[in-house]
């Protein structure tokens, strides 16, 4: 039994063979396997993502995160000595100003200038933050703008457990990505094809969007042994009026609100926690969802398999139940599911066998 007042990060550890970490995306997108977990009974079933419609009902609402990943990793050189530098853009702080991670950090002193893409972009370090990150002020050549330059010279900021080079940048984007600003993909949505989304709408399931720009904190490990001592990273979100209206309508009519991904989940539950209701809004959230959390919006969750001892497996455990979640992960390892960003999917709801 999990002690909610004294949770340890080790409570969320599981053994994962290295070969189960997916290195490349599957083709087609929706060919991935899908473990189905009944959060009421703990029953586990097995399916494929292309059969998702079999698990949805007319009147359900899928909420997707339409954030688009920046090709945020750029390689360049110091302007004076022409030695190597790597920047990873973390968060926009102002007009052409970004918080960055850089390697090697000792070269990134305040006032030092750098060149990327043979002059497409230049940058100057203006501040060193307490955590070692930097603030960089960028300039573009006259032939381009900042985001066009990034698209040309930037690389996708794949998580560290993916070691193979990505052949097609778009495979680390969802097919519905629209609002640029994430440092990592909302990976639960990578399974959808445009055709499948159209089929879902045809069966009477509504689709709505939120935007939460995923920060690099999503990859940062929980360092504190006690879960409650962990401080979450800050991420920007927006919940538009159409989405708020659809959520409230779905709830009023007895339908299910199903979040696609932990980022959509965090957006919806943040708004409900901050405002006491679902309404159009935007802001920043540092919400930390772990067992004991009372969900106000979610009835279902589509998600991937997450790292051991991560805040994401804690969120899933809060929604599906700790014992249910850890047992499902044990089964997934035994059944050789593919894990993490390019891996397989989970569908979690109150009942995986309700009549549609």
Per residue of the chain (356 residues), give pLDDT as tens. 899 999 999 999 999 999 999 999 999 999 999 999 999 999 999 999 999 999 999 999 999 999 999 999 999 999 999 999 999 998 889 999 999 999 999 999 999 999 999 999 999 999 999 989 999 999 998 878 999 999 999 999 999 899 999 999 999 999 999 999 998 999 999 999 999 999 999 999 999 999 999 987 776 789 999 999 999 988 999 999 999 999 999 999 999 999 999 999 999 999 999 999 999 999 999 999 999 999 999 999 999 999 999 999 999 999 999 999 999 999 999 999 999 999 999 999 986 544 43
Residue 147: its H or E element: helix 146-153
pLDDT, residue 354, reads: 45
Residue 67: its H or E element: strand 67-69
Say whether both 240 and 273 belong to one domain.
yes
Say whether both 211 and 106 belong to one domain.
no
Say whether both 28 and 129 belong to one domain.
no
Say whether both 131 and 105 belong to one domain.
yes
Supply the range of the domain harboring residue 145: 73-155
In whole angstroms, give the CA distance from residue 131 to residue 293.
29
Say whether both 318 and 290 belong to one domain.
yes
Grouping H, G, I as helix, E, B as strand and the rest as coil, residue 165 is: coil
User: Whole-model pTM?
Assistant: 0.92
Q: Is residue 211 part of a domain?
A: yes
Q: Is residue 161 part of a domain?
A: no
Q: Which of 155, 184, 210 is the last residue of a domain?
A: 155
In whole angstroms, give the CA distance from residue 39 to residue 168.
36
Q: Is residue 2 part of a domain?
A: no
Q: Are 184 and 166 in contact (CB under 8 A)?
A: no
Q: Is residue 162 part of a domain?
A: no
DSSP state of 125: E
* β-pair partners for 69: 182
pLDDT, residue 352, reads: 52
Say whether both 194 and 88 belong to one domain.
no
Place of tokens 């203006």: 126
In whole angstroms, give the CA distance from residue 108 to residue 125.
7
Grouping H, G, I as helix, E, B as strand and the rest as coil, residue 270 is: helix
Count of the separate structural domains present in the chain: 2
Q: What is the CATH number of the domain that holds 151?
A: 2.40.10.240
Q: What is the CATH number of the domain that holds 41?
A: 3.40.1780.10
Q: Radius of gyration (Cα) for the chain, nearest Å?
A: 21
Burial of 87 (0-12, 13-18, 19+ CB in 10 A): buried
Say whether both 238 and 325 belong to one domain.
yes
């Amino acid at each position: 039994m999990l002690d909610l007042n004294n949770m340890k990060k080790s409570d969320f550890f599981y053994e994962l063979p290295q070969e189960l970490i997916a290195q490349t995306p599957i083709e087609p997108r929706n060919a991935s396997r899908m473990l189905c977990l009944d959060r009421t009974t703990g029953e586990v079933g097995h399916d494929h993502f292309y059969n998702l419609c079999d698990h949805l009902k007319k009147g359900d609402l899928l909420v997707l995160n339409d954030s688009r990943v920046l090709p945020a990793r750029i390689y360049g050189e110091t302007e004076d000595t022409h030695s190597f530098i790597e920047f990873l853009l973390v968060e926009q702080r102002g007009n052409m100003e970004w918080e960055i991670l850089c390697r090697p950090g000792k070269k990134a002193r305040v006032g030092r200038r750098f060149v990327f893409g043979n002059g497409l972009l230049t940058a100057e370090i203006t501040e060193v933050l307490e955590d070692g990150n930097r603030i960089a002020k960028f300039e573009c050549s006259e032939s381009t703008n900042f985001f066009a330059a990034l698209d040309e010279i930037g690389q996708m900021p794949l998580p560290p457990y993916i070691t193979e080079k990505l052949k097609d940048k778009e495979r680390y984007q969802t097919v519905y990505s629209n609002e640029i600003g994430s440092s990592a993909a909302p990976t639960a949505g990578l399974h959808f094809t445009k055709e499948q989304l159209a089929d879902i709408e045809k069966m009477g399931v509504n689709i709505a969007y939120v935007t939460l720009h995923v920060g690099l904190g999503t990859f940062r490990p929980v360092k504190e042994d006690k879960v409650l001592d962990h401080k979450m990273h800050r991420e920007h979100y927006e919940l538009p009026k159409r989405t708020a209206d659809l959520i409230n309508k779905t709830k009023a009519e007895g339908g299910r609100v199903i979040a696609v991904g932990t980022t959509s989940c965090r957006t919806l539950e943040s708004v409900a926690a901050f405002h006491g209701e679902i309404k159009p809004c935007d802001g920043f959230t540092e919400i930390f969802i772990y067992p004991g959390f009372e969900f106000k919006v979610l009835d279902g969750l589509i998600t991937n398999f997450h790292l051991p001892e991560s805040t994401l497996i804690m969120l899933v455990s809060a929604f599906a139940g700790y014992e249910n979640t850890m047992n499902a992960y044990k089964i997934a390892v035994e059944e050789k599911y593919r894990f993490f960003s390019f891996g397989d999917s989970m569908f979690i709801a109150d009942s995986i066998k309700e009549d549609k």
